[in-house]
Amino acid sequence: VIYTDGSAQYEINSDESIINFPIAQPGTYQLVSISDANCQGIVSGSAEVIGTSAKAVLSGGGVICNEGESAIISVSWTGDLPWTLVYTDGLSNYEIAGINTNSRNISVNNPGVYTLVSASYNDICQGSFEGTAEVSLIAPLTGEIIINDSYCIGDQILLQSSIVGDLNYEWTSNGSGAFADNGTPSARYTPGDNDEEITFSLNISNGCETIQLTATTEIISVSSVFTIDFDEQDLTESLEYVFTAAEEEADEYVWYLNDTQVSRGSIASIIFEETGENEVQLVVTKNGCKVIARTVFDIKPNTNLFIPNVFNPNSSNPSNNRIRVYGESISSENFTFSIYNRWGNEVYSTSNLQNAQVNGWNGESSNSNQENNVFTYIIRGEFSNGETFEETGTITLVK
């Protein structure tokens, strides 16, 4: 058998009474001749083979904001008309037949990923197909701003949205501070100097709706300033001074002297035992916020010197029956303390500071009790800071 498609001839040898021709190209096919080993036959008839590059492409999709609403998917077609389309949402197949246009918009109300199952024409011919379209159902926005009830001065505030996703975020506040990382679900805020109570707002949009969330926090202000009931320039050792915290409503006050805790409460009485630099520290805690103040004071030696001017050797009061030397920061070096009667005779003398401060003069001289009279004393020496002193005075002995 010899046949042609109008441009070329093809020959097939067969011993079958029915012959199927392999066709690779569209066109009108006709028989040219048929013969066997001995005879030439008669041929007639023709066959038309239709061929086209038919193709369907799926695109589109989008979001469904509320149940019952719809989104649009689109199918474009290249091929003969009419044509038939079968598509699926992954759960069910849907068919649209007799489409007489090269494109078709389809309204869908089920979320899912849509694909094509088939595209055909002339009832029997199949075209190729490709593409996907995703339709998402957007849930209503609901959530909150995650934030602490209060923060300490100097803290940076971390703001966190409980709603996280591919959304639009915008943070604002009524404060005077500054935002960092605005436009994200987690922003940071540095309070301004005058911020006390701050209300934050967060607008969130998902393309379907915009909601606003709000939250309020407090900036805890705590003062660690303290005052002293004396001129700071004149503080001396061994004397008691009263310190007062300026903050009146704190939860806790702790006072330290040279890193050693000495008092608790808003008022502290502190005695400086050492000369030179001494550091007073106040730690104030309020609503979980802690602040610390430190001040260094230059403590001067206590150079007060005191000799009583009257005593009674027979007194039952130990403080009144002897003449002792009273004072602070007195050096034991180069110390003398002498007492004379009215005729200039020495009745008591010592160069031992401890003896003068502890034992003193008991009103006797040469193991003889002195009578009521007025005596004169001279005391010489120096303080621990090197300052020298020399004082004279009178002492009245009264029995």
- DSSP class per residue in 182-197: TTSSEEEEE--TT-SE
Question: What's the pLDDT tens digit per position in 301-358?
Answer: 888 899 999 999 999 999 899 999 998 889 999 999 999 999 999 999 999 999 999 9
pLDDT at 147 over 90: yes
pLDDT at 301: 83
Q: State residue 123's pLDDT score.
A: 76
- Window from 47-51, 61-65, 222-226, 358-362 with minimum mean pLDDT: 47-51
Residues paired with 289 in a beta bridge: 286
Rounded to 5 degrees, φ, ψ at 4 are -140, 155
Q: For the residues 16-42, what does the mean pLDDT come to?
A: 84
Q: Confidence class of residue 51 from pLDDT cuts 50, 70 and 90?
A: low
Would you say residue 25 has pLDDT above 80? no
Mean pLDDT of 147-169: 95
What is the average pLDDT across 83-96?
A: 96
Q: Which amino acid is at 293?
A: A
**Which has the minimum average pLDDT: 43-47, 84-88, 260-264, 379-383?**
43-47
For residue 124, pLDDT over 80 is answered with no
> What confidence score (pLDDT) does residue 7 get?
87
- The pLDDT value recorded for residue 332 is 94
Q: Which amino acid is at 76?
A: S
Residue whose tokens read 């093809």: 10
Contacts of 318 (CB under 8 A, 6+ apart): none
Nearest alpha-carbon partner for 78 in 97, 52, 51, 116: 52
Higher pLDDT, 48 or 320: 320
The helix or strand, by DSSP H or E, that contains position 169, with its residue range, turns out to be strand 168-173
> What is the arithmetic mean of pLDDT over 58-83?
93
Highest mean pLDDT among 14-23, 232-241, 384-393: 384-393
Cα angle for residues 141, 146, 148 (degrees, 5° grid) = 160
- pLDDT above 70 for 117: yes
* Neighbouring residues of 24: CB distance < 8 A, sequence distance ≥ 6: none
Q: How far apart are CA 178 and CA 189, in angstroms?
A: 6
Instruction: Provide the residue count of the chain.
Output: 399
Q: What pLDDT, on a 0 to 100 scale, did the predictor assign at position 1?
A: 86
Q: Which pLDDT value is given to residue 48?
A: 80
- What per-residue confidence (pLDDT) applies to 110? 93
Please compute the mean of the pLDDT values over residues 20-48 and round it to a whole number.
84
| Structure confidence at residue 275 (pLDDT) | 87
Judged against a pLDDT cut of 70, whether residue 50 lies above it is answered with no
What's residue 82's pLDDT? 94
Q: How confident is the model at residue 250 (pLDDT cuts 50, 70, 90)?
A: very high
Is pTM beyond 0.85 here? no
At 323, which helix (H) or strand (E)?
none
Q: Give 170: exposed, middle or buried? Use CB within 10 Å, 0-12, 13-18, 19+.
A: middle
What's the CA gap between 264 and 261, in Å, rounded?
8
CA distances in angstroms from 17 to 13, 35, 171, 304, listed in the order given: 11, 12, 85, 145
Confidence band for 385, pLDDT divided at 50, 70 and 90: confident
Tokens of 316: 């039952």
Q: What's the pLDDT score for residue 389?
A: 95
Nearby residues of 211 by Cβ (< 8 Å), 6 or more positions away: 141, 142, 203, 204
